[in-house]
Amino acid sequence: MSMGTDTGPEDAIQVSLLTGWLGSGKTTLLNALLKHPDMAETAVLVNEFGDIGIDHELVDTVDENMVELTTGCLCCTVQGDLSRSLRELFLKRVKGEVTPFRRVLIETTGLADPAPILHTLMNDPIIASRFYLDGVISTSDAVFGQGQLDRHEEPRKQAAVADRIVMTKIDMAEPDMMDVLEDRLKTLNPTAKIIKAANGEISPDALFGCGLYDPDSKSFDVQSWLREESFREKHDHDDHDGHGHDHGDHEHIHDPERHGNGISSFCMRYEEPIEWPAFVAWIQTLITHRGENLLRIKGIVNIDGEDNPVAIHGVQHIFHHPVRLPEWPTDDRDTRIVFITRDLEQKVIQDSLDALQQAAKKTD
């Protein structure tokens, strides 16, 4: 990770990833979305058209690998690897062979680990120059979701890396059951917004626009992207005596073994500016030795000697290029880094960064 930073993706195409465990209502959600007029100018990459069961009344034109809908939405099957499919789709857009689209929604299989797809979006230089990641949408079954999270690692990872979690089948679940599942999901990932839906009925606006860059305002929406305040909200909710406790520079929200199945989420804060070379060395060391345990990292960093902050974003071994922000989003100048990890304690990460920072100061 170098200091070469990205600028705003004004001309790039927004990409969202739709994931969710088998039977969690992902296909129902996608089918409902395809009928929504706000999905115009959206291209959807799917595994198989047959899995969606597209309403034939919506189909305008059809060929072997592509369907154009009367709502303005374009559906394509994933041919081979994702990189090739995205490149071919972009080329068709440039040539004017398809309706212009400004957003891509990638639907995964229920068994898929979202990390490799995110790696493609972050690390393929051709893809990264044309598309940018808006966010990950994950579905969770209000009736059977709790058991699925208990028995399988994949839905836990899908929820952990999500920006939006759609709790499906709420018309079939008891309120107490939904409350328990919602608490579990907030434990796995306090930064994700949880949206409840029956029969896939949901506005696309609730699912998109969760990335760092807001194409509508053509600015960086750091607070909505980082959602660092959710850690304090969760702590306040869990503080039964009504009196908050000061966690100092490092805020955590839960015991990962309570029902997170080894997944931890926490936010680290630093008031003092951070030495960038030491920070880069720390990130690279962390990736090399513990990359598999780093499900997701988001942060805004106050760099020593720089007026404006840098945003960082990584998934396991792969990091976006740091993004130099044009200004601080608020008067708060603290470095804030949100972690979601698996079998990796906060203290290990915290101590390693503290040690590097101290070493950097001694060499000044």
Regarding whether 301 and 192 lie in a shared domain, the answer is no
The contacts found for 47-51 with CB under 8 angstroms, 24 or more apart, are: 47/77, 47/78, 47/107, 47/108, 47/109, 48/77, 49/75, 49/77, 51/27
Please state, in angstroms and rounded to a whole number, the distance separating the CA atoms of residues 173 and 155.
19
Please state, in angstroms and rounded to a whole number, the distance separating the CA atoms of residues 346 and 252.
8
- Report the SS3 class of residue 293: helix
Q: Decide if pLDDT at 311 tops 90.
A: yes
Q: Decide if pLDDT at 242 tops 60.
A: no
Regarding whether 276 and 203 lie in a shared domain, the answer is no
- If you ran DSSP here, which 8-state letter would residue 322 be given? P
**Please, are residues 27 and 198 in contact by the beta-carbon 8 Å criterion?**
no
**Please, are residues 195 and 55 in contact by the beta-carbon 8 Å criterion?**
no
**Can you tell me the mean pLDDT for 179-193?**
94
Please state, in angstroms and rounded to a whole number, the distance separating the CA atoms of residues 279 and 24.
39
* Mean pLDDT rounded to a whole number for the chain: 84
The last residue of a domain, from among 174, 194, 214: 214
**Please, are residues 125 and 65 in contact by the beta-carbon 8 Å criterion?**
no
Beta pairing class for 164-168 and 131-141:
parallel
Q: Return the beta strands (E) in the chain as ranges.
A: 13-20, 42-46, 59-62, 66-69, 74-77, 103-107, 131-141, 164-168, 193-196, 213-214, 219-220, 250-252, 263-270, 294-301, 310-315, 318-319, 323-324, 335-342
Regarding whether 197 and 123 lie in a shared domain, the answer is yes
Regarding whether 308 and 183 lie in a shared domain, the answer is no
Residue 91 lies in a domain: yes
Residue 222 lies in a domain: no
What pLDDT, on a 0 to 100 scale, did the predictor assign at position 9? 58
Query: Would residue 20 be called left, alpha or beta, if left means φ above 0 and alpha means ψ between -120 and 50 degrees?
Result: left
- If you ran DSSP here, which 8-state letter would residue 65 be given? S
Residue 256 lies in a domain: yes
pTM above 0.85, yes or no: yes
Q: Decide if pLDDT at 254 tops 50.
A: no
- 117 vs 182, residue with greater confidence: 182
Percent of the chain with pLDDT over 90: 49
Regarding whether 71 and 205 lie in a shared domain, the answer is yes
Regarding whether 258 and 205 lie in a shared domain, the answer is no
Regarding whether 132 and 257 lie in a shared domain, the answer is no
* Residue range 207-230, pLDDT digits in tens: 999 888 887 777 888 988 998 888
Amino acid in position 121: L
Residue 7 lies in a domain: no
Residue 172 lies in a domain: yes
From 291, 344, 340, select the one nearest 319 (Cα to Cα). Answer: 291
* Residue range 315-325, pLDDT digits in tens: 888 888 899 99
What pLDDT, on a 0 to 100 scale, did the predictor assign at position 117? 85
CATH number of 201's domain: 3.40.50.300
Residue 351 lies in a domain: yes
* Residue range 4-20, pLDDT digits in tens: 444 445 678 999 999 99
What pLDDT, on a 0 to 100 scale, did the predictor assign at position 8? 47
Backbone phi and psi for residue 110, each to the nearest 5 degrees, phi listed first? -65, -25
Q: Which residues contact 233 (CB under 8 A, 6 or more apart)?
A: 190
* Residue range 41-77, pLDDT digits in tens: 999 998 776 677 777 778 877 677 888 888 889 988 8
**Please, are residues 177 and 146 in contact by the beta-carbon 8 Å criterion?**
yes
Q: How many domains does the chain have?
A: 2
- Report the SS3 class of residue 91: helix
CATH number of 354's domain: 3.30.1220.10
Amino acid in position 269: R
Q: Decide if pLDDT at 200 tops 50.
A: yes
Band (pLDDT 50/70/90 cuts) for residue 235 is low
Structural domain boundaries enclosing 272: 246-363
Q: Decide if pLDDT at 204 tops 60.
A: yes
Regarding whether 138 and 68 lie in a shared domain, the answer is yes
Regarding whether 355 and 261 lie in a shared domain, the answer is yes
The last residue of a domain, from among 193, 214, 235: 214
- Report the SS3 class of residue 206: helix
Residue 240 lies in a domain: no
The last residue of a domain, from among 195, 214, 233: 214
From 190, 309, 319, select the one nearest 253 (Cα to Cα). Answer: 190
Residue 223 lies in a domain: no
* Residue range 129-182, pLDDT digits in tens: 899 889 999 999 999 999 999 999 899 999 999 999 999 999 999 999 999 999
- 39 vs 237, residue with greater confidence: 39
Q: Decide if pLDDT at 351 tops 70.
A: yes
Regarding whether 288 and 200 lie in a shared domain, the answer is no
Regarding whether 275 and 197 lie in a shared domain, the answer is no
Token reading at 38? 């706000």
Regarding whether 274 and 143 lie in a shared domain, the answer is no
